[in-house]
């Protein structure tokens, strides 16, 4: 490649990279769509095999991420600043097809590591959590936390954070009592102070942070919209890999693939594996892959 991404971003290790390349099986000259391109770790591995940057489309709603992919753009790759569901729907309407599609639904390491993004409970920053910080119309986590009523907070915590009802109610009450909350540390401290009992590895606020991140970015709605049009984006013989990081996402992907597997002659996709490939056993050296679940299919 003609230019390397900034040094500080090289620490981002692509999740399940070997498995992604294996299931996508890139061939020279094939077209590749990365709907969550991030900082290009998977894309560059694919490009090294296809040698076809002009047939590569990299989509992300984070402009900071796209700014690190200018080397691929300089060689003919297309960069698209968009959420992945919107791009997928437009591409399907236009009849555009690809040989390979990757959807990595995780938050990237640089996003987590930058305090100002507000994703990490370990680094104090504003309660933002927007994947696209340039979208002024999108509500931040701080807005939701400080403006939702108790019932709305409970719903977010119960559905998106998978908190038990009693726990969701307790956290919602604690948040309301402590408002206004402005930083990630304040939110984490409120939840920790109302946590019952000691904890070992997982911080009590982990599910709360997940819940508001999902709500802010409409992550489940995005995935449902994508799955509706996904088969139309693949050429016959085209491969798709989806990587999810929590049970809510994986449940949607698993159900979609199960419906394909049971559709008989009407099925558009064949599963490449019946069970998910798990990061905790197949990518043990990458801490960020611990909760990753990979599922793959091929277009008939």
pTM comes to: 0.92
Q: Which whole-number Å values give the CA distances from 265 to 251, 261, 270, in the listed order?
A: 24, 10, 11
Query: Tens digits of per-residue pLDDT, 42-94?
Result: 999 999 999 999 999 999 999 999 999 999 999 999 999 999 999 999 999 99
DSSP-assigned letter for residue 126: B
Residue indicated by tokens 């307790």: 170
Residues lower than pLDDT 50 in the chain: 1-11
Q: Which CATH class is domain 115-217?
A: mainly alpha
Other CB atoms within 10 Å distance of the CB of residue 273: 13
CA distance 111 to 176: 27
Distance of CA 107 to the CA centre of its chain: 5
> Distance from first CA to last CA of the chain, Å, rounded?
34
Give the per-residue pLDDT at 36. 97
Q: What is the pLDDT of residue 93?
A: 98
- Domain edges within the chain: 7-110+220-299, 115-217
User: What architecture is the 7-110+220-299 domain classified under in CATH?
Assistant: 3-Layer(aba) Sandwich (3.40)
């Amino acid at each position: 490649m003609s230019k390397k991404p900034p040094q500080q971003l090289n620490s981002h290790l692509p999740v399940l990279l070997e498995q992604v390349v294996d299931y996508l099986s890139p061939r020279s000259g094939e077209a590749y769509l990365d709907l969550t391109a991030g900082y290009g770790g998977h894309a560059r591995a694919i490009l090294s095999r296809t040698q076809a940057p002009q047939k590569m489309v990299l989509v992300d709603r984070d402009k900071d991420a796209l700014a690190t992919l200018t080397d691929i753009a300089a060689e003919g790759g297309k960069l698209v600043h968009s959420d992945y569901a919107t791009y997928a729907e437009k591409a399907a309407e236009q009849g555009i097809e690809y040989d390979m599609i990757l959807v990595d639904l995780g938050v990237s390491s640089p996003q987590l590591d930058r305090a100002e993004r507000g994703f990490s409970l370990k680094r104090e920053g504003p309660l933002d959590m927007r994947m696209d910080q340039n979208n002024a119309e999108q509500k931040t986590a701080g807005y939701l936390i400080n403006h939702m009523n108790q019932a709305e907070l409970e719903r977010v915590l119960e559905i998106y954070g998978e908190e038990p009802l009693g726990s969701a109610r307790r956290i919602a009450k604690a948040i309301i009592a402590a408002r206004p909350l402005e930083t990630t540390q304040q939110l984490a401290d409120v939840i920790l102070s109302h946590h019952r009992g000691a904890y070992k590895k997982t911080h009590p606020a982990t599910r709360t942070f997940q819940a508001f991140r999902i709500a802010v970015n409409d992550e489940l709605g995005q995935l449902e919209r994508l799955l509706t049009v996904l088969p139309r984006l693949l050429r016959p013989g085209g491969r798709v890999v989806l990587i999810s990081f929590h049970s809510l996402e994986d449940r949607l992907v698993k159900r979609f693939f199960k419906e394909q597997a049971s559709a008989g002659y009407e099925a558009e996709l064949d599963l490449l594996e019946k069970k998910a490939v798990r990061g905790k056993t197949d990518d043990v050296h990458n801490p960020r892959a611990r909760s990753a679940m990979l599922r793959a299919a091929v277009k008939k």
